Amino acid sequence: MTVIARGANRLMKKRLLISRRLPEAVEKRANAAYDVFQNADDHQMTTGEIVEKAKDVDALLITITDKMRKEAIDALPEHIKILSTFSIGFDHVDLDAAKARGIKVGNAPHGVTVATAEIAMLLILGSARRASEGERMIRARAWPGWAPLQLVGRRLDGKKLGIYGFGKIGQALAQRARGFDMEIHYYDIVRQPPEKEHGAIFHDSLDSLLAISEFFSINAPLTPETRYFFNTETIEKLPQGAIVVNSARGDLVKDEDLIAALKSGRLAYAGLDVYAGEPKINEGYYDLPNTFLFPHLGSAAIEARNQMGFEALDNVDAAFAGKDMPFKLT
């Protein structure tokens, strides 16, 4: 691993490990405030590398791909009390283990909202209009010319969109889908007040939502209760030929069941931005024509990534100042 230390007056600055390369503006701010140990070649650090480098720093700024399970948290040097993650998700960090060690953990919850909702909307539109099939046809130089029945898809107006998980991203998706004249329905464990629903129809059970969802968008967090919730049993409760998109977490979906439903025609299309085991995704997806697949682009907008970095640094700044992290998890 190539690691470089930056910043003048090293003895006066706290030392911060940043596990991946971040946007220029984020790194500039970090280097102005801290003696940064940067993962210069941007490889995926192993847990062992992070634990080893933690001996030389005062705080850690990690990303969603850095798996800080209990054994990793327990192996951190005793002086590490600050951990901030460049992500809204935190299922890669064992919060109970961190709390037991007295480690403050924070995330970056707001920067991803608009960018991820845009990707969810793009997945819906691209799936409905069979965009990936058309793009492949052009690139393969296989377009025979216009024909009345060529790649006929669906319009969005008047269609029922079921949103599973109506937090900030789910609400932002609803706002965008209303611009396509979709009828918005949602299920969440907590009903939002009318001023946040903006006419969206609340369902008091997931089964009720599934039953009407011509389009179904997964926007729920990954928890022990939601892991692999989207399976054959769930699929059978959707209308025949429904379209499903997932911009949340790959482990919410049981891949084998989704692939089987797409092959059989039980589901018409799937738009996916996240996958279990990514980047090594289920081989069954590669040859399915009725899929619209992205490489985890949800927050991949410079405005989003900058805000995520600034929020992660806000947590570090506050913790070093003896204050609560503004986006604390423990």
For 171, phi then psi, to 5°, come to -70, -40
Dihedral sign from CA coordinates of 287, 214, 223, 329: positive
Pull the structure tokens for residue 247: 């911009």
pLDDT at 12: 79
Distance CA 292, CA 312 (A): 31
Instruction: With a cut of 80, say whether residue 3 has pLDDT above it.
Output: no
Distance (Å, rounded) from C-alpha 64 to C-alpha 47?
A: 12
Specify the CATH number of the domain 112-293. Answer: 3.40.50.720
- Strand segments, DSSP code E, in the chain are 3-5, 15-18, 35-39, 59-63, 82-86, 104-106, 160-164, 183-187, 201-202, 215-218, 242-246, 267-272, 291-293
Q: Out of 249, 266, 283, 305, pick the active-site residue.
A: 249
Q: 41 pairs with which residues across the strands? A: none
| pLDDT above 90 as % of the chain | 96
Domain boundaries, the chain: 3-111+302-320, 112-293
Tokens of 5: 């230390």
100 in Cβ contact with 78 (< 8 Å):
no
Name residue, tokens 């079921």.
162
Cβ-Cβ contacts under 8 Å for 259 (sequence gap 6 or more): 282, 284, 285, 288
Active site residue 155: no
Which listed residue (296, 303, 305, 311) is catalytic?
296
DSSP-derived secondary structure for 47-102: HHHHHHHGGG-SEEEEETTS-B-HHHHHHS-TT--EEEEESS--TTB-HHHHHHTT
Q: At 319, list the tokens.
A: 């913790």
Q: What is the pLDDT of residues 122-134, one digit of tens each?
A: 999 999 999 999 9
Whole-number average pLDDT of the chain: 96
Contact 214, 185 (CB under 8 A): no
| Helices 302-320 + 112-128 axis angle, to 10 | 150
pLDDT tens digits, residue range 223-277?
999 999 999 999 999 999 999 999 999 999 999 999 999 999 999 999 999 999 9
pLDDT at position 73 is 98
User: Could you confirm whether 249 is annotated as catalytic?
Assistant: yes
Strand 82-86 to 59-63 pairing: parallel
Model's pTM, two decimal places?
A: 0.92
Four-CA torsion 133, 135, 136, 137, nearest 10 degrees:
80
Can 139 be counted among the known catalytic residues?
Answer: no
Instruction: Read off the pLDDT of residues 239-249 as tens digits, 9 standing for 90 and up.
Output: 999 999 999 99
Judge whether 3-111+302-320 and 112-293 match in fold: yes
The label of the residue with tokens 């024509």 reads: 289
CA distance 174 to 124: 12
Fold of 3-111+302-320: Rossmann fold (3.40.50)
Check residue 2 and give its pLDDT. Answer: 44
> Radius of gyration (Cα) for the chain, nearest Å?
22
User: Please, which pLDDT band fits residue 11 given cuts at 50, 70 and 90?
Assistant: low
Residue 330 has pLDDT above 80, yes or no: yes
> What pLDDT is recorded for position 172?
98
Dihedrals phi, psi of 179, to nearest 5 degrees: -65, -20
